[in-house]
Chains A and B, each alone.
Chain A
């Protein structure tokens, strides 16, 4: 990992189309300004990791789980309307 020291108002450039600027430093928080093409998705790391984890968990089902869930949904669906 590349580690750089930057002051408020300074920035870095990644490739030739992503600019990240330190907008403000306050206590242990920093505000970042990011200029990047719209096609680059930018997400908070913890959100991205939460989705990655959820996707991994979502691959862990077994055929028996699918059958049980299908039966449950099917039964609920077939109940007569009040």
Chain B
């Protein structure tokens, strides 16, 4: 399959490799399937491209690269949505925002829970946790 006219040009993908968001992302509930694009220049960042909307792509990173004690454990409902049996089958990813002034923040308040074995992903809101939607990226 092919998505034409993304910001990176045309993208070919295999349907079996898509990441499925059973609930979409918050504010983008209608977008369910994304292609994972590795970032050649550095392995800390990668991006996901919507199959349904060529203009929508998110930059992601493993927050554990920057915040060693950051941990998100799925509850039973979330595990069911991810189609996994054990909490450790999912790990957290953070959405990266690059602001107009080129500053970079991570959204630690609403991470993605990703289950590699089922290729499913869920955005969760950590209410009550001391995490910010705009946590500055620390220097590595």
Contacts and interface: CB of A to CB of B under 8 A. Distances in A.
Q: Do A and B come from one complex?
A: yes
Interface of A: 38-39, 41, 43-44, 47-48, 50-63, 65-71, 73-74, 76-77
Nearest to B59: A61
Contact of A59 (B42, B56, B104, B140): B56
Interface of B: 7-8, 25-28, 39, 41-42, 44-45, 47, 55-59, 75-77, 80, 95-99, 102, 104, 107, 109-110, 123, 125, 127, 133-134, 139-140
Contacts of B125: 41, 43, 47-48, 51
Contacts of B42: 70-71, 73-74, 77
Nearest to B140: A76
Given A55-B95, A70-B44, A77-B42, 8 more contacts: A51-B27, A51-B107, A51-B110, A53-B27, A55-B26, A57-B99, A59-B57, A71-B41
Nearest to A61: B98
Contacts of A55: 25-28, 58, 95, 107, 110, 123
A45 to B, nearest CB: 12
B134 A74 contact: no
20 contacts: A43-B127, A47-B127, A51-B123, A55-B25, A55-B95, A55-B110, A58-B95, A58-B96, A58-B97, A59-B56, A59-B57, A61-B59, A63-B8, A69-B59, A69-B104, A70-B42, A73-B45, A73-B140, A74-B41, A74-B42
